[in-house]
Every structure is written in C-alpha cells, then in structure tokens.
Homo-oligomer: A and B are copies of this chain.
C-alpha cells in the first residue's frame, strides 16, 4: 500500500486504539501470537522468496538477519505473548498536584498516537515493534526494507488478523508495501499524521531521517562505544569486559569500538589484552603509544578510526594519561550511546560518570548491557542516542505521552 493511503487508515485506527482497554489489547496480542504460529508455513514460504531474491545482492551477515526459521517464528510469537504479559503503561497517574486555588491536576499516561517506524532487513523487528505499539495504545505505520517485503507482508497479515479477531482495528498495524526510496521520504513528510518517526537501522538511515523529517523523530542506534581501563583497574575484571564487549556480538550497537587504557597500566594490560583479542580474530588499530607496547599486533589508527562504528571484529586502541582524558576522547568521538570504566577507585568512577555525556555509563561492567530486555523493560523499540523524550533503551513507557486532567469547582482566571 502507498504511504499516504496506509497512513490515513492507520491514523483512523490510532483513534480507536487510544480508547482500547488493557484486557482488549492483551487479548489481541495473544490472538496475534496464535495467528503468527498458524501462519508459520506461509511466513517461511514468503521468507524463502525474499532470500531467493536477495541472496546474490546482499552480504552474508545481512542474509542471516533476513532469514527466518521455525524457531525464529516461534520466538516472534513468544515475544508477542511476553508483551501481552507486561503491565499496561496507559492510564497510570504519574502524580496529582493540588493547587492553592483548589484545582486538582492529575498527570496521566496516554498513548502517543501513530508511530512511524522505518527499518531495514530484520523481519522479526516487525512483530516486536507492532506488539509494543499495540500494547502502548498506538497504531504503527511500518516500512521495512525491500529485501524483507514478502516476509513483512506475511507477518503483518497474521498480526492484523489477530487484531481483527479481537475487534481491534487491523489498520493499527499498517505496512507500507511501496519500498521505493521515495516512500521513506513521504513518511518523513507526514506532519500532523505521524506523532513520532523512529528509524531503526544503519547510521546513514538514521541521519537522513533525523535531518530531513518534518515530524518529530527519535534517533536511535549508532554506537561508537568505549571501554576505559583505569590505572587502578582490576586486571582480571578488565580483560573479560574488554574482550566480550568487542567479541560477543560485534555487529550490534552496544559493542565496544574503542579501548582506552591508562598509561600507567598499559604496559601490563595491553600485551595480554592484545593476545586475547587477536585470538578472537580482532584486528587492532592503535595510537602511537599503543604501537610502542604491542607493535606487532596492531596497525596504526587514523583520525577517522576514532569516530568509526566498525560493527565488526576491529578495535581501535588508545593510551590516555588520565580518566579525564578518556572522558574527553569519548565526548569528542563517541555517539553518546554507552561507555564503561573499569576501576577499583570509586571516586574516579563517579567523576568519569559525571564527565561522560552518554546515555549509559557503566562502572565495572560491559557496555553490552544497554538493551531494553537487560534493563528490565520487557522489550525495546530501540536505543535513543538523543536527549529529547527518551535516552538509552526505549521500552513501553517511552512509547507514551501525558495528558493533564484538571478538576475544579468553577475556578476562573
């Protein structure tokens, strides 16, 4: 369906969703889960078509993201049921202010309305995102990548049938099937229709949307994350944090891209770190001081390296003179996503947390925990790297707005 047509239907559906009760939304999410299970064959067939069309033109890692299996379809259904089980954020009263003139002001949680999502190739994002939006009392207008089109059509067909089965409007999950580049642009111009637009995907997509949209945007994702090993670090803690933050899943946004090491500990730490990282197949790109210590195991880093999100088994390494120099490096080259300090000195740790201007700052733990599930939010729609509305992992509560309901006895002004 074309953008404006799908958006108009979804906008109308959002007005019904706004008034849906918790029980209705949960019943619909359960029905959506069952519908996804029933449609497994259809979804896998559609996905096979997508794979067949894409396999010669996209990279292997992208092909893996695109691929669905019976296990992944089951996981999608399980995800829908998990979201049904979460507490409903809508209707909660944040606070009641009683004013001297007798007015009672209740700040209540309400749905955002119509949420636009532009995503790239992972079709399981479709079910996740739709479930969060439905639970939050909103409608969603989804535009996936063209590689995933048949999969997305099959998945949303199932989701929509689940909504219809419980008398909620199927257009609360609306898919834009026009995947021409122009259709993303059209979504960015839906002012007065989309209450927010969330791009999920690579840095180029996010930048394009943030800079060109005429509707409110939440920029997510891009992560040049740092691990800083302080002079007073526990080496037995620093090594596994640095290695797993880089290696456990290098393609994700919370993986470490730059290792910063205090000069006092570098001669001790870097050789063993380099050995372990190299063993995991990591290419090291170091500053001059790094090269002086682990020369054979690293190539020189360029200025560009410090600002690069590799999403791959590559790590830039820099020796710094202090925690404050580490924080300065992070504030200059980072994307404000997630950073870690490893130190036994709690005063240093606190200062580092204050200096670093990022969404998440870890003391003695890996940056890889920046995730809605790991934070206990029960799911996530993305990681915000902006300061407005939401910052860090965004769960259900971040898909809500407020309304003030004020009760009086005839007060005028």
Contacts and interface: CB of A to CB of B under 8 A. Distances in A.
Interface of A: 15, 18-19, 97, 99, 103, 105, 110, 112-113, 191, 195-196, 210-212, 214, 216-218, 234, 236-237, 240-241, 244-245, 248, 331, 353-355, 357-366, 368-369, 374-376, 386-389, 391-392, 401-413
A241 B361 contact: no
Given A105-B375, A392-B404, A410-B234, A195 B387 contact: yes
A112 B386 CA distance: 9
In the A-B complex, the 9 residue pairs with the closest CB atoms: A365-B408, A387-B401, A237-B410, A389-B389, A244-B412, A368-B413, A211-B214, A365-B411, A216-B388
10 contacts: A18-B357, A234-B410, A244-B412, A360-B403, A361-B403, A364-B409, A365-B406, A369-B413, A387-B401, A391-B403
A55 to B, nearest CB: 31
A378 to B, nearest CB: 12
Oligomeric state, in number of copies? 2
Contacts of A105: 375-376
Contacts of A410: 234, 236-237, 240-241, 364-365
Contacts of A97: 375-376
A406 B240 contact: no
A332 to B, nearest CB: 11
B366 A413 contact: yes
A366 B411 contact: yes
Q: Name which of A19, A97, A363, A413 has the most chain B CB atoms within 10 A of its CB.
A: A413
B408 A360 contact: no
